[in-house]
């Protein structure tokens, strides 16, 4: 198993589209497919279901994705430690590095926007580092990345350490079965939701998440956002691209006999009364950097790309 194989696998698991993953890594689709096949052979498991409907992760694939994020982060941390202790000579960074937490749609959405920028604008190949929740600000402060993307709430404790700009507003939504009482609502307040559904086990969750949420209480908004964090860590490994077609946080799945492939049948109810900091993703970089003006211009170009993407038909997004 190689680091490159794990990086290829991460991208395939997020895009659920080998062609898109190959484009991201600047390799041919056949090259990427051979690396994934070699990884499956070495581990003696099937990581993807491939059929006429597309690519889906197997249960073994979902488990490997979670482990791959941990492994690649640990390797990066090890290299940084070697450099800081003078045991390894740091090499010039060949990439424009952007760091972000794994969320429902941030990775594919970010890649799509970057692909709309002029090919020679960055002057170097870009790379998106997937990090554990809450570690994106630290990575930018250490200089491991030039730019970070994270929830506004996660940046508050860093005060004026960063310059920031709104990247993506993603409202919280509850997903319910078509015959559920909430299916007749377009929006619902957080208070109304918690008054009726206050135990996490009242919700149907994919098997990969049940161990995390069984019989736990939701206490106010903090408990609700805590549940959202758990879901955002695991749902991408199951149906990332399908859930990423429209930017929002798909939050809860109330009881019903629904299999994972049937998620598309659920009705979305938007939650109101949620602080903006809990739903607004920011692009940020270290304050006072020499490249402040350049990074600000980069954000403006991303805004223009975002506007363009919103005007396109939804069927054209994320390689679908």
User: Beta 172-176 vs 147-151: how paired, if at all?
Assistant: unpaired
How far apart CA 224 and CA 313 sit, in angstroms, is: 32
- Which residue(s) pair with 267 in the sheet? 176
pLDDT given at position 215: 61
Q: Is the dihedral of CA 206, 215, 222, 220 positive or negative?
A: positive
Write the DSSP string, 49-74. EEETTEEEE-HHHHHHHHHHHHHHHH
CA distances from 152 to 19, 157, 163, 186, 292 (A): 33, 10, 12, 26, 19
At residue 271, what are phi and psi to the nearest 5 degrees?
-90, 135
**∠ Cα 174 175 181 (to 5°):** 90
The pair of three-digit structure tokens given for residue 58, joined into one six-digit string: 């197997």
Q: Tens digit of pLDDT per residue, the chain (320 long)? A: 888 999 999 888 878 888 888 888 888 999 999 999 999 999 999 998 887 777 888 888 878 887 887 888 888 888 878 877 878 776 666 788 899 876 656 777 888 888 888 777 777 788 888 887 778 898 898 888 889 999 888 898 898 899 999 988 888 888 777 778 888 888 888 888 878 777 666 666 655 566 666 666 777 777 777 777 666 665 544 444 444 445 556 666 666 555 555 666 778 888 888 888 888 889 999 988 777 888 888 888 888 888 887 776 544 333 32
The whole-number pLDDT of residue 246 equals: 52
pLDDT of residue 162: 93
Phi, psi (degrees; rounded to nearest 5) at 229? -65, -40
Model's pTM, two decimal places?
Answer: 0.75
Cα→Cα distances 123→82, 94, 119, 303, Å: 28, 10, 8, 20
Distance in angstroms between the alpha carbons of the first and the last residue of the chain: 30
């Amino acid at each position: 198993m190689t680091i490159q194989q794990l990086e290829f696998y991460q991208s395939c698991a997020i895009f659920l589209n080998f062609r898109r993953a190959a484009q991201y890594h600047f390799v041919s689709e056949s090259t990427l497919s051979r690396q994934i096949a070699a990884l499956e052979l070495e581990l003696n498991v099937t990581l993807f279901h491939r059929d006429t409907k597309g690519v889906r992760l197997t249960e073994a694939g979902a488990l490997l994705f979670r482990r791959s994020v941990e492994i690649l982060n640990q390797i990066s941390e090890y290299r940084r430690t070697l450099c800081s202790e003078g045991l390894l000579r740091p090499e010039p960074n060949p990439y424009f590095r952007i760091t972000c937490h794994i969320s429902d749609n941030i990775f594919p959405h970010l890649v799509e926007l970057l692909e709309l920028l002029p090919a020679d604008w960055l002057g170097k190949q870009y790379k998106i580092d997937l990090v554990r929740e809450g570690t994106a600000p630290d990575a930018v402060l250490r200089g491991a990345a030039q730019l970070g993307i994270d929830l506004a709430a996660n940046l508050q404790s860093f005060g004026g350490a960063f310059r920031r700009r709104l990247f993506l507003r993603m409202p919280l939504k509850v997903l319910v079965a078509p015959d559920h009482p909430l299916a007749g609502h377009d929006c619902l307040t957080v208070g109304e939701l918690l008054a009726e559904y206050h135990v996490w086990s009242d919700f149907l969750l994919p098997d990969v998440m049940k161990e995390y949420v069984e019989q736990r209480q939701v206490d106010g908004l903090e408990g609700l956002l805590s549940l959202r964090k758990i879901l955002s860590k695991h749902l991408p490994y199951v149906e990332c691209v399908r859930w990423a077609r429209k930017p929002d946080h798909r939050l809860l799945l109330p009881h019903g006999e629904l299999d994972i492939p049937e998620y598309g049948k659920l009705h979305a109810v938007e939650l109101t009364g949620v602080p903006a900091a809990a739903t607004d993703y920011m692009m940020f970089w270290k304050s006072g950097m020499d490249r402040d003006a350049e990074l600000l211009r980069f954000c403006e170009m991303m805004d223009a790309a975002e506007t363009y993407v919103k005007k396109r038909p939804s069927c054209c997004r994320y390689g679908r």
